[in-house]
Chains A and B, each alone.
Chain A
Amino acid sequence: MTQAVNDRPGSGVLPRVGRWLAGPIPVSVVLALVVGAVFMLVAGVDPISGYRAMVSGSFGTGMGIANTLGRAIPIIGIGIGIALAFRAGIINLGTEGQAVLGALAGGFVAVYMPGPGPLVALCAMVTGVLAGAAWGLLAALLQNSLGVPILLATLLLNYPARYFSSWVIRFQLKDPSTDLVASKQIDPGVQLTALVPAGPAAEAVRRTFGPMSPVTMILTQVNWSLVIVAVLVIGAIFVNRRTRYGFEAGLAGQNPEFTRYGGVKPGPLVLRTMALSGGIAGLIGVLIVIGAPNTRMIEGHIVQTNYAWTALLVTLLALYRPLGVAIAGLFFGAIIVGSEAMGRDLGLSPQIAAVIQALVIILLAYRVALPRFRRKRQVAASEDPPEPEPQRPAAPAAVAAPAASAPTAETTETGGER
């Protein structure tokens, strides 16, 4: 539906951009920032200097840009995992647990496996993928064979993963030589280094681009997970558009009944999707552990940074499209880094980032847009016959798609007061 609206023949690029700007996403973002300003006023801070600190902290300097990218990488990666599941109509709220276990299993391999560095790193990543996929598969099996709703299964499995991991790190792997509750250090040869590792090459980059320029900062501060996640994004686009699995998954997300009639078995699809989604989350968990500047498994690292839940918001903002996840992930990464900078400068809580991000999603679900656009949308909507939404209130039928969960849609159609 949204697609149809966006692709309506516009009379050129500018009107189309204008229409997009008046649409739900930009308007939601602006309104969320306005509400964020109200929160700053409550805290006794002038919003203009607040947002100025936020922008300069996230995009103003080379360091800020590198930090934003570094923060966005795990968010985008986990976001891709969530997007693949949501696109297939499977609500995977368990990427946190999947990433935590991936980090634990992969980190264990990275710390203790002997051998040449790159090989160990590769084994660590494979182990992480397997652990994350196994945790995802467990939820899928619970739904398929026992009928436990996957939303609850994935969500509840987060907690044992979280507590188990922190128990293992605190009581079994704790390195007594550090004040952190963390494992031993990972061998430098196993670590994912910065794109240009410290040394003569980094010096050359510094001389060529200047010591503080964005290019230098990105090349010397951001590690190789950037490339891995970029490959993930492209891979997800390819899977969605070009493979049979991607087609079936997309169809299942839109209309499970039809897909079943089309001969696609829902059970195996759920298994495959959850293995994929959990595997990606597990991979990102490992990347967080072995990617510079991190050198250890730290208790609560993935939970406290809230990567998985931010990634969920990012996925909802991007309407499950991989490229959209990448863009939205950069945006939310910038909000987080900017909020931390603002918090340091002005003595505020960096949690303002969560407030703004959540508000964006809430307003987007309200489908707020400038009035003119709405009228057009309604015309467009009335031209299409309403999509019959099957009786699955759990289907995350797109934030912006008009089809809401079954009872709500039906009641409005039957003409209660509007």
Chain B
Amino acid sequence: MNLLAMFDQDLVASVLRSLIPILLAALGGMICERVGIFNIGLEGILLIGTFTGVAVSYGTHSWILGSLAAMVAGMLFSMILGYGAVYRKGDPIVLAVAMNILAVGMTSFLLLAIFHVQGVFKDPKIDGIPTWRIPGLADIPGIGPLFSLTPIGYLALLLVPVLWVVLFRTPVGLRLRGVGERPLAAATLGVNPQRYQLLAVLASGALAGLGGAQLALGNVVQFTENMSAGRGWIAVVVVMLARAHPVGVLGAALLFGFADAIGFRLQSFGLPQQLTDAGPYIVTLVVLILMSRRFKQTRAAQLA
């Protein structure tokens, strides 16, 4: 097999396809991390987003309404964590683990109850998200696929610089970071930490819900039980690797998009799916190990 043949235009497109949902979820997780809430419920929120997106798009024949509904559903679902962790002092890990299981149960249950199918729901009435090709730019060899994304794809990529500006160059971002780093100081200065924490969780719900819409209406046009398939967990790792920095989040998410895409490629060269599926997780672990010095530093800083 010719290894070089793997690196072509299609690979770039395929990387972007894997990247967008993870990126959106990870940006959400990053905001939560900044206010000091460890959000490992992204996996469940993604799944809720996929189901709602497909269900509403099927009902209304509109991908716009489907995506908006996915966003709203993600926000509502993330309230479980937001309300519980911020106002009831529940353990965020416990809440998020339960959320992830609840999401699998709810979506599978409703799939059978509403659409009377099990496993996969596919219907021509589901309106998929269109690809917006930017004429001219989309024909540039190499980076062409970057200019033929879904609207959600463009939004996700734009959000990286936008969130960077918001976090580091605006008063809102300063308060957000303050709440996470020195909640006491923030409260003394008149910032209500709880409100910021709740808003951050809601934002992560909206972003991960949107990621779900991209997954189920953009990448494919169908709902499959448990179709988030660990992407939310990878997003959690992305946030940690990037130490909650927007640019780092993009870089780490790219890495996993790349691992995912390479896995698909290797399948077409005859490697069994079971082995290539494990790829992204192994890459994740290896990167975690390679970056371990960073964790040690962070830990030492926390203890100091």
Say yes or no: B281 contacts A358, CB within 8 Å.
no
The chain B residue sitting closest to A404, CB to CB, is: B89
The chain B residue sitting closest to A392, CB to CB, is: B302
Say yes or no: B184 contacts A361, CB within 8 Å.
no
Chain B residues contacting A146 (CB-CB under 8 Å) are 288-289, 292, 295
Say yes or no: A366 contacts B99, CB within 8 Å.
no
Q: In the assembled complex, how far is the CB of residue B81 from the closest CB belonging to chain A, in whole angstroms?
A: 9
Q: Is A152 an interface residue (CB 8 A)?
A: yes
Interface residue tally for chain A (C-beta within 8 Å)? 67
Q: What is the total of A-B residue contacts with beta carbons within 8 Å?
A: 205
Interface class of chain A by DSSP = helix
Say yes or no: B93 contacts A396, CB within 8 Å.
yes
Most buried by B among A361, A365, A397, A399: A365
**In the complex, A397→B80 CA distance in Å?**
19
Say yes or no: B296 contacts A42, CB within 8 Å.
no
The chain B residue sitting closest to A402, CB to CB, is: B89
**In the complex, A398→B94 CA distance in Å?**
9
**In the complex, A351→B112 CA distance in Å?**
10
Q: Is A239 an interface residue (CB 8 A)?
A: no
Q: Is B268 an interface residue (CB 8 A)?
A: no
Say yes or no: A163 contacts B104, CB within 8 Å.
no
Chain B residues contacting A30 (CB-CB under 8 Å) are none
Chain B residues contacting A398 (CB-CB under 8 Å) are 91
Q: In the assembled complex, how far is the CB of residue B143 from the closest CB belonging to chain A, in whole angstroms?
A: 31
Say yes or no: B104 contacts A149, CB within 8 Å.
no
Of A121-129, A153-161, A196-204, the one touching chain B? A153-161
A contacts, CB < 8 Å to B: 39, 42-44, 91, 93, 142, 146-149, 151-153, 155-157, 159-160, 162-164, 166-167, 170-171, 309, 312-313, 316, 347-349, 351-355, 357-359, 361-362, 365-367, 391, 393-394, 396-399, 402, 404-412, 414-417
B contacts, CB < 8 Å to A: 35-38, 40, 80, 83-86, 88-95, 97-99, 101-102, 104-106, 108-114, 118, 179-180, 183-184, 187-188, 192-195, 197, 230, 233, 236-237, 240, 272, 274-275, 277-278, 281-282, 284-285, 288-289, 292-293, 295-296, 299, 302-303
* A-B contact sample (11 more), CB < 8 A, given A159-B230, A358-B101, A408-B37: A159-B277, A160-B281, A171-B272, A351-B105, A355-B106, A355-B109, A358-B105, A359-B98, A399-B90, A411-B187, A412-B194
